[in-house]
């Protein structure tokens, strides 16, 4: 239902009853006149034009296909995560035993630091995202948006994807507000409120709670999101920041790779 109403909402959001819409109407009328004159010209000629019909897959079918592929990839990633949680420690121990004694301590230190930083990152992110989702749901309920719990859930989950998740949520809230509400300030309340809320949490509350901000240049994080997303799809987008955390720890702990860490650091 929301997918069907999205074009109407985007039209109201971008055009509305402004001068742009009137100019578009004039262009449409001119195009109709040209089309009419061309059809009269075509009827007067002896050669009858050939009609070519292109059959393409609808955008709804393409959207459902992408969603189905994303859900399948996510389920496979969850299954892999389960097996790694069950047998991951044994794999690490077996791997460390095969290393020379001098390198065993470095490997164990890298493993412990990676586990600690990823657990810290995901734990604080989960708590802050839950708070953002609840606040967004209440905000949508207060201004009368339908299905406020759905938009709160989307707002919380999307923050697991740095940068792109926030942009996606703001766009969705803007379209939904344009479709559902009539007052301009109420249309802008949900997307702008979510932007202020996620900025406040991301820049002040999260660093204050865990005292840890990723020491990686934001450009590197952004590039890694596109790279892992291109490689693994939606699952790669979700895993981009944890993977960069592991890479950061490895680069920092190995002396020969420490110059690379200093290059990508903040």
Q: Per the domain annotation, does 52 fall within a domain?
A: no
Q: In terms of domains, do 113 and 201 share one?
A: yes
Greatest mean pLDDT among 69-78, 99-108, 147-156, 174-183 lies in 147-156
- Please state the pTM of the whole predicted model: 0.55
Q: Per the domain annotation, does 157 fall within a domain?
A: yes
The sign one gets for the Cα dihedral 14, 152, 120, 83 is negative
Please tell me the predicted confidence (pLDDT) of residue 134: 92
Q: Per the domain annotation, does 81 fall within a domain?
A: yes
Q: Per the domain annotation, does 135 fall within a domain?
A: yes
Give the contacts of 122 (CB within 8 A, at least 6 positions apart): 242
Q: In terms of domains, do 205 and 114 share one?
A: yes
**Cα gap 142→148, rounded to integer Å:** 9
Section 239-248 average pLDDT = 81
Q: In terms of domains, do 205 and 112 share one?
A: yes
Q: Per the domain annotation, does 51 fall within a domain?
A: no
> Of 211, 232, 249, which marks where a domain is finished?
211
- Which is more confident, 203 or 119? 119
What's the number of domains the chain is made of?
4
Q: In terms of domains, do 123 and 184 share one?
A: yes
Q: Quick one: residue 61, left, alpha or beta (phi over 0 = left, psi -120 to 50 = alpha)? A: alpha
Over residues 52-75, the pLDDT tens digits come to 555 566 666 777 777 787 778 778
Cβ neighbourhood burial of 185 (10 Å; 0-12, 13-18, 19+): exposed
> Of 194, 211, 228, which marks where a domain is finished?
211
Q: Which of the four pLDDT bands, split at 50, 70 and 90, describes residue 232?
A: confident
Q: Per the domain annotation, does 103 fall within a domain?
A: no
Domain that holds residue 12: 2-44
Give the distance, in angstroms, between the CA of residue 46 and the centroid of all CA atoms in the same chain: 56
Q: In terms of domains, do 71 and 124 share one?
A: no
Give the distance, in angstroms, between the CA of residue 232 and the centroid of all CA atoms in the same chain: 14
Q: In terms of domains, do 10 and 94 share one?
A: no
Q: Per the domain annotation, does 53 fall within a domain?
A: no
- Summary mean pLDDT of the chain: 76
Q: In terms of domains, do 148 and 223 share one?
A: no
Taking alpha carbons only, the member of 239, 258, 238, 236 closest to residue 248 is: 258
Rg (CA), the chain: 26
Section 166-175 average pLDDT = 87
Q: Per the domain annotation, does 155 fall within a domain?
A: yes
Give the distance, in angstroms, between the CA of residue 264 and the centroid of all CA atoms in the same chain: 23
Q: In terms of domains, do 130 and 200 share one?
A: yes
Give the contacts of 149 (CB within 8 A, at least 6 positions apart): 137
Residue 8 has a CB neighbour count (10 Å cut-off) of 12
Asked if 3 contacts 63 with a C-beta cutoff of 8 angstroms, the reply is yes
């Amino acid at each position: 239902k929301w997918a069907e109403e999205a074009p109407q909402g985007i039209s109201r959001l971008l055009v509305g009853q402004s001068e742009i819409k009137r100019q578009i109407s004039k262009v449409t009328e001119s195009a109709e006149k040209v089309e009419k004159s061309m059809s009269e010209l075509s009827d007067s000629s002896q050669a009858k034009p050939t009609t070519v019909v292109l059959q393409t897959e609808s955008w709804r079918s393409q959207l459902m296909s992408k969603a189905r592929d994303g859900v399948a990839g996510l389920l496979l990633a969850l299954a892999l995560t389960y097996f790694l949680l069950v047998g991951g420690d044994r794999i690490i121990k077996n791997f460390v035993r095969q290393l020379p004694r001098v390198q065993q301590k470095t490997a164990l230190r890298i493993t412990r630091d990676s586990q600690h930083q990823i657990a810290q990152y995901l734990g604080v992110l989960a708590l802050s995202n839950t708070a953002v989702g609840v606040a967004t749901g209440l905000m949508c309920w207060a201004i009368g948006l339908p299905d406020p719990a759905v938009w709160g859930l989307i707002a919380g989950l999307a923050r697991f994807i740095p940068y792109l998740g926030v942009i996606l949520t703001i766009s969705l809230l803007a379209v939904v507000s344009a479709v559902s509400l009539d007052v301009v300030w109420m249309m802008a309340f949900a997307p702008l409120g979510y932007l202020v809320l996620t900025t406040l949490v991301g820049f002040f509350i999260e660093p204050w709670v865990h005292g840890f901000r990723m020491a990686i240049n934001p450009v590197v994080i952004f590039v890694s999101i596109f790279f892992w997303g291109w490689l693994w799809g939606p699952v790669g987008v979700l895993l981009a920041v944890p993977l960069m955390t592991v890479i950061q720890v490895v680069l920092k702990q190995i002396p020969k790779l420490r110059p690379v860490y200093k290059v990508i650091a903040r």
